[in-house]
Structure 1
């Protein structure tokens, strides 16, 4: 495996359409982040929306990611300026923002994450500013250059506004959330025609905008299929998913040795 670039290069790599691999972190401890990052995953997504993370455990998970050289994104629980500011001050590489269903919402999110042209509250005293070591304007320049903002497309109403959403300056790309689209569309499953049609619309709009697409996949075969359609960043399973898969396999293998 080639040496992984520094996490500060993640935004540039994402924008360039580099092949990036990450996973969701659902367990609010540092250990899983360390293990995943040390294996060579390009990024982790700390899941505040669907896992029991709070400000302190997010802070620890970000520190663990930085320790092993993995980019740390946070899926914020809600797209408020306060939530976005807190994870960026803690040193997150970027944010994954739920329910970006309109251009107005995309602009609000971007404004919360950017200093110049935005409304991010300034402080260089947290980890992001080197605890005061990075001077004011140096911190602002670095943060605006490096923070990655990814909008989640998971609402049917977003499908009619894709071009406007993706045209928002500072929105780096989108994440297709097939699970939520499946539920919202009342589809039989993520592979149902209506969900696949929605994915096709998203890929086409992203291509027109020249912006990358991230998607969650079940494995290499599914990743290859979506790569052919335009995806370049892939979230594979979760820390809990990896644990369950490995534990299930180990249990079955050793249980098979039991005397008849």
Structure 2
């Protein structure tokens, strides 16, 4: 995922993100063929096809400009960070029940806008059950947990294995 000058708020921010994910002539990404070859191939056109540009929808501005953001050429998807979206909707803390209805409306709008534009819609989830619920709501992908939680869980498993 890419972020240009913070979270995207409008189509211009999304277009900037797209340009930073693509090589010329479709973007402005720097070409380092040796490094690119380690992951996505040394040919820029092949790399462009292998990289997904996904922008986050987690500000009031992004919600206001949702359809325009989703329509940006070259954008592959949008992604919801639920904590920041809750705060953007006026919540005092992640998961604030005072904004639950507004949150549900916003997340439904995001999935629908992505579907209309023919792009992916993703959602960050704390567990598999939440991911299943979001996928049932029309999201096309979900992330589960976080990069910090996985090493902590692995360390706990290793500790348990060593103590037996």
Q: Compute the TM-score of the two structures, normalised by the length of structure 1.
A: 0.52
User: Cα deviation per residue 1:78-107 (whole Å; 9 max; x = unaligned)?
Assistant: 526xxxxxxxxxxxxxxxxx5121000111
Structure 1 CA distance for aligned equivalents of residues 146 and 32 of structure 2: 32
1:179, distance to aligned residue in structure 2 (A):
0.6
1:182, distance to aligned residue in structure 2 (A):
1.1
**SS, match of residue 53 in structure 2:** strand
2:49 is the alignment partner of 1:145: yes
Structure 1 CA distance for aligned equivalents of residues 15 and 151 of structure 2: 38
1:225, distance to aligned residue in structure 2 (A):
1.1
User: Cα deviation per residue 1:214-246 (whole Å; 9 max; x = unaligned)?
Assistant: 111122221121111111221111243245557
1:120, distance to aligned residue in structure 2 (A):
2.0
Contact 1:187 1:194 (C-alpha < 8 Å) held by counterparts: no
Contact 1:187 1:195 (C-alpha < 8 Å) held by counterparts: no
2:146 corresponding residue in structure 1: 238
Structure 1 CA distance for aligned equivalents of residues 29 and 137 of structure 2: 35
The residue correspondences of 1:87-236 to structure 2 (distance < 5 A) are: 99-115=7-23, 116-124=25-33, 126-129=34-37, 134=42, 139-187=43-91, 189-190=94-95, 192-236=100-144
Seen in structure 2, the aligned counterparts of structure 1 residues 213 and 121 have a Cα distance that, compared at 3 Å, is same
Seen in structure 2, the aligned counterparts of structure 1 residues 157 and 239 have a Cα distance that, compared at 3 Å, is closer
1:79 corresponding residue in structure 2: 4
Structure 1 CA distance for aligned equivalents of residues 16 and 118 of structure 2: 21
Relative contact order (alpha carbons < 8 A, sep ≥ 6): 1 or 2 greater? 1
Contact 1:175 1:214 (C-alpha < 8 Å) held by counterparts: yes
Unpaired runs of 5+ residues, structure 2, are none
Seen in structure 2, the aligned counterparts of structure 1 residues 113 and 239 have a Cα distance that, compared at 3 Å, is closer
Equivalenced residue count is: 152
1:159, distance to aligned residue in structure 2 (A):
0.8
Q: Compute the TM-score of the two structures, normalised by the length of structure 2.
A: 0.79
Contact 2:131 2:143 (C-alpha < 8 Å) held by counterparts: no
Structure 2 CA distance for aligned equivalents of residues 186 and 219 of structure 1: 25
Structure 2 CA distance for aligned equivalents of residues 177 and 239 of structure 1: 14
Instruction: Point out the structure with the larger strand share.
Output: 1
